């Protein structure tokens, strides 16, 4: 029930007093209510729960914690411990080793 999906805010519109927005999840664009997060700005990522944007996703924090985890892993020599490893994966072009198959995701389908 608390499932929330991150999406990119493409535009903000006022629909008869209700602040709404178009949010892109992967390839799907949905109308989302911004009444609980009026400060969200176009171009930002927001977490969407039951049709409402509930919080902004902070790109700086995301990048910092991601880089911290990568560094912590490298310090312990783990990121280079897997066969066929190159450098640590880039943030915008994540690579995975071929033997790791994650189940299909249900992005954009909050239940």
Partner 1 sequence: MRYLDEYRDERLFRSQLARLTQIATRPWVLMEVCGGQTHTLVRYGIDELLPAGMEMVHGPGCPVCVTPVEIIDKAIALARRPNTILVSYGDMMRVPGSESDLLHVKALGGDVRMVYSPTESVKIALENPACEVVFFGVGFETTAPANAMVAWQARRQGIRNLSLLSSHVLVPPAVEMLLSSPHNRVQGLIAPGHVCSIMGTGAYEELAAKYKVPIVIGGFEPVDLMEAIVMLTAQLEEGRCDMENQYRRSVREAGNQRAREMLFEVYEVCDRKWRGLGEVAVSGLQLSAAYREFDAELRFGLEDISVAEPKECISAMILQGLAKPKQCGAFGTRCTPESPLGAPMVSSEGACAAYYLYRRHNGEMSEDECVPSGEGA
Is 41 or 81 the residue whose CB approaches partner 1 more closely?
81
| Options 14, 21, 52, 83; binder of partner 1; rule CB under 8 A | 52
Integer Cα distance of 108 and 6 in angstroms: 8
Minimum CB separation of residue 11 from partner 1 in Å reads: 19
Which of 48, 54, 57, 53 minimizes the C-alpha distance to 111?
48
Q: How far is the CB of 107 from partner 1 (least distance, A)?
A: 6
The CA–CA distances, whole Å, from 1 to 19, 38, 101, 109 equal 24, 23, 26, 12
Answer for which of 10, 28, 36, 42 binds partner 1 (CB under 8 A) is: 36
Candidate residues 6, 22, 29, 44; the one interacting with partner 1 per rule CB under 8 A: 6
List helix spans (H) across the chain. Answer: 59-75
Q: Quick one: 18 exposed, middle or buried, by C-beta within 10 A (0-12, 13-18, 19+)?
A: exposed
Cα–Cα distance measured from residue 90 to residue 49, given in angstroms and rounded to the nearest whole number: 29
Q: Site residues (CB under 8 A) for partner 1?
A: 1-4, 6, 26, 33, 35-38, 45, 47, 49-52, 54-59, 61-66, 69-70, 72-74, 76, 78-79, 81-82, 85, 88-89, 91-92, 94, 96-97, 100, 102-103, 105, 107, 110-111
């Amino acid at each position: 029930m608390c499932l929330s999906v991150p999406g990119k805010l493409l535009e903000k519109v006022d629909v008869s007093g209700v602040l709404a927005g178009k949010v892109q999840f992967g390839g799907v664009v949905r109308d989302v209510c911004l009444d609980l997060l009026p400060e969200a700005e176009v171009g930002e990522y927001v977490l969407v729960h039951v049709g409402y944007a509930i919080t902004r996703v902070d790109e700086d924090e995301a990048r910092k914690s991601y880089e911290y985890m990568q560094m912590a892993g490298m310090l312990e020599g783990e990121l280079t411990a897997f066969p066929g490893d190159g450098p640590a994966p880039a943030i915008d072009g994540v690579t995975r080793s071929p033997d790791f198959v994650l189940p299909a995701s249900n992005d954009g389908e909050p239940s």
